[in-house]
Every structure is written in C-alpha cells, then in structure tokens.
C-alpha cells in the first residue's frame, strides 16, 4: 500500500523541519506543495528551505520554475502525481509538505474540471483589475456567482479573475463546476497538522519577516519590481515592497503590512486545513517520536 504523509499548517510553524525528520525516518523524498517556492527568482520572501535542509533530504518542486513561466495548480497536480508514482516505485511511503491548501488538495483529491474559455476574457479582466482595482472584480463576481463570492479568497486577484473568466466564458457559475467526481488516487493519505496558540503563530511570523528583511528581501524584491504584474509576484512579501518602491508607502509601513498580511494568510491557512476532520493535529513543540508513532499507527 502506498502512503503519502502530508504536513500542513500555517506559515512559520515548523513544517519544513518536521518534513525532514519524517523523510529521514521513512527514508523518503519530500514533495513541496508550497506554490510560492516553485520560483527560482523568489527565495528569501518565500522562506525556501536553507541549503543544509535541502541537502538533508531530497526535495522536489522547489525553485524549479521561473516567474516568467505560466505554471498553475493544474500543471502542478499532473507533475506531482507523476513524480509520486515514480517515487512510490522506490519506497511506498512518501512525504508532502506545504501551506498552499489548494495545491495540497489538488494532489490528495484531484482538481475540478473547467472548460476552456477564450483567453481574451482573462486579458480583459486583468486590464479591468489594473485600471479599476480589485473592488470592481469583487462586485462583478458577487452578481454572477454569489456562492463563489462567499467561498473563495476574494482579496486574491488571481482567484477572482479565474472565477470570473469561467462565469463569463461558460455562462455558468464558477461554483457549478466545483465538487464533481474526480479520479481516485493510488495511495492512502495521512495528514499531519502543526499549530500553536494564535499569539505564538503571529510572533513567529513577525520574527520571520524581520529575518527576511535582514537577509536581503528588499534587494530580491527590487530585482523583481520591473515585472511586478506577473501572477507569481502577486504575493505577500513582494507586493507590499512594490508599493514602497513606487513611493506610495514608507519602508516601515511596508514591512508592517507584510507582517499583517502574512498573519491574515496564516489565519486563512488554518481555516482551510481545519475543514479536514481526519487531519492529525499536533502542537508545533510536540515530541517528534510521538508524532511518528501516531503516523505509524495510521499506516499499520
């Protein structure tokens, strides 16, 4: 029986360290499902594992793409399943780790199917976003598909545009295509969640942002600034600094916004992952042997 152990939880909680310990214990590789760590131009701001961590276990899907490539959750699902099938031939227990809930679900459950739509629709919606702001897209989705308006992250322009292009291009609500029957997986899924009191999570996030800034986040963001409209760069840690480079915010305010938006992101991560009642949740300081014993009990 093939088993995929997936480690989830909010950002800065210690998922990488646990994944490496589990990979060593089970002699497995690690699949990264962090949608921000795919891109080789984004290292500091996405908290890519340190060199020593990457060398401690074989990782896949970390800094393997460019921000200039069109890479999405559908592409990742195909690539990750193909890689897992290859890895399961060597060892029937493998590890996946990441805080991107949609990408985790794509691997564990499969994606919903959406018909192809005219690419000009997306171009028009992107132009509308650039000229009129995110509120205009939010209002349009509320009119066309109230269910999706209430369910998706409406502060994420990429998700908004995706939902709207389906609504417009198919004359059906985006929500109509959700939760249809999907292709079964050839592995058993065990999900392990790490968490902590909210104050601890927020404090760890604030500390991580300060470390990123000290490690050169401003220089990294400045090099990417000319390409700020790329989809990969519409992410916390970069978009706030772009406001600073444009002269709209001072640096201290931009950094405080990174911290605030990362805290909001962590809250959304927990809300997403807590929906799965079968996830084994542990405090982030839980003894690793206890976690391993609980996992092995699930495998056996």
What's the pLDDT tens digit per position in 142-192? 999 999 999 888 888 988 999 999 999 999 999 999 877 778 899 999 999
CATH architecture of 3-111+182-299: 3-Layer(aba) Sandwich (3.40)
Of 145, 27, 144, the closest CA to residue 94 belongs to 27
Task: Please report which helix (H) or strand (E) contains residue 123, including its range.
Answer: helix 119-132
176: exposed, middle or buried (Cβ count in 10 Å: 0-12, 13-18, 19+): middle
> What is the Cα Rg of the chain in Å?
20
Q: Is 192 helix (H, G, I), strand (E, B) or coil?
A: strand
pTM: 0.83
pLDDT at 252: 98
Whether the Cβ atoms of residue 141 and residue 154 lie closer than 8 Å to each other: yes
99-110 tens-digit pLDDT: 999 999 999 999
Output the furthest CA–CA distance in the chain (Å, rounded): 58
Say if CB 105 and CB 98 are below 8 A apart.
Answer: no
Token pair 């800094």 is at which residue? Answer: 63
- Give me the pLDDT at residue 179, please: 77
pLDDT at 250 > cutoff 80: yes
Q: What is the mean pLDDT of residues 220-244?
A: 96
pLDDT per position as a tens digit, 47-104: 999 999 999 999 999 999 999 998 999 999 999 999 999 999 999 999 999 999 999 9
> How is the chain split into domains, by residue range?
3-111+182-299, 119-177
For the chain, list the strands marked E by DSSP.
Answer: 3-8, 30-32, 59-60, 93-97, 188-195, 280-283
What's the pLDDT tens digit per position in 259-296?
999 999 999 999 999 999 999 999 999 999 999 999 99
Checking phi first, is residue 72 left (phi over 0); if not, alpha (psi -120 to 50) or beta?
beta
Please report the pLDDT score of residue 90 as a whole number: 95
Determine the Cα–Cα distance for residues 142 and 150; give it in Å rounded to an integer. Answer: 8
**Residue with token string 């990742």:** 76
Among the ranges given (72-76, 204-208, 219-223), the one the predictor scored with the smallest mean pLDDT: 72-76
CATH architecture under which domain 119-177 falls: Orthogonal Bundle (1.10)
Q: What is the mean pLDDT of residues 217-222?
A: 98
Q: How many CB atoms lie within 10 A of CB 289?
A: 10
* CA pair distance 253, 168, nearest whole angstrom: 38
CB 233 within 8 A of CB 227: yes
Asked if 210 and 38 count as a contact pair (C-beta separation under 8 A), the reply is no
Instruction: Determine the pLDDT at residue 122.
Output: 93
């Amino acid at each position: 029986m093939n088993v995929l152990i997936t480690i989830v939880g909010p950002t800065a909680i210690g998922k990488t360290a646990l994944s490496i310990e589990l990979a060593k214990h089970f002699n497995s590789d690690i699949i990264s499902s962090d949608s921000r760590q795919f891109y080789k131009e984004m290292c500091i701001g996405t908290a890519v594992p340190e060199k020593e961590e990457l060398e401690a276990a074989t990782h896949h899907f970390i800094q393997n793409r460019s921000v200039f490539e069109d890479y999405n959750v559908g592409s990742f699902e195909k690539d990750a399943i193909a890689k897992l099938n290859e890895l399961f031939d060597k060892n029937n227990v493998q590890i996946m780790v990441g805080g991107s809930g949609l990408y985790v679900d794509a691997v564990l459950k499969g994606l919903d199917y959406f018909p192809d739509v005219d690419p000009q629709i997306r171009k028009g919606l992107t132009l509308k976003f650039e000229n009129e702001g995110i509120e205009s897209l939010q209002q349009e989705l509320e009119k066309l598909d109230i269910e999706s308006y209430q369910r998706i992250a409406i502060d994420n322009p990429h998700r908004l545009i995706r939902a709207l292009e389906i609504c417009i291009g198919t004359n059906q609500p985006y929500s109509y295509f959700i939760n249809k029957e999907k292709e079964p997986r050839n592995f058993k899924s065990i999900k392990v969640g790490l968490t902590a009191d909210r104050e601890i999570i927020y404090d760890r996030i604030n500390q991580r942002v300060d470390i990123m800034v000290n490690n050169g986040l401003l220089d990294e963001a400045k090099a990417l600034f000319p390409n700020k409209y790329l989809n990969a760069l519409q992410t916390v840690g970069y978009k706030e600094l772009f406001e600073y480079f444009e002269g709209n915010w001072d640096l201290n305010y931009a950094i405080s916004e990174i911290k605030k938006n990362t805290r909001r992101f962590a809250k959304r991560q927990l809300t997403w992952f807590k929906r799965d009642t079968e996830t084994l949740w542990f405090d982030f300081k839980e003894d690793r042997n206890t976690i391993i014993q609980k996992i092995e009990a699930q495998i056996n």
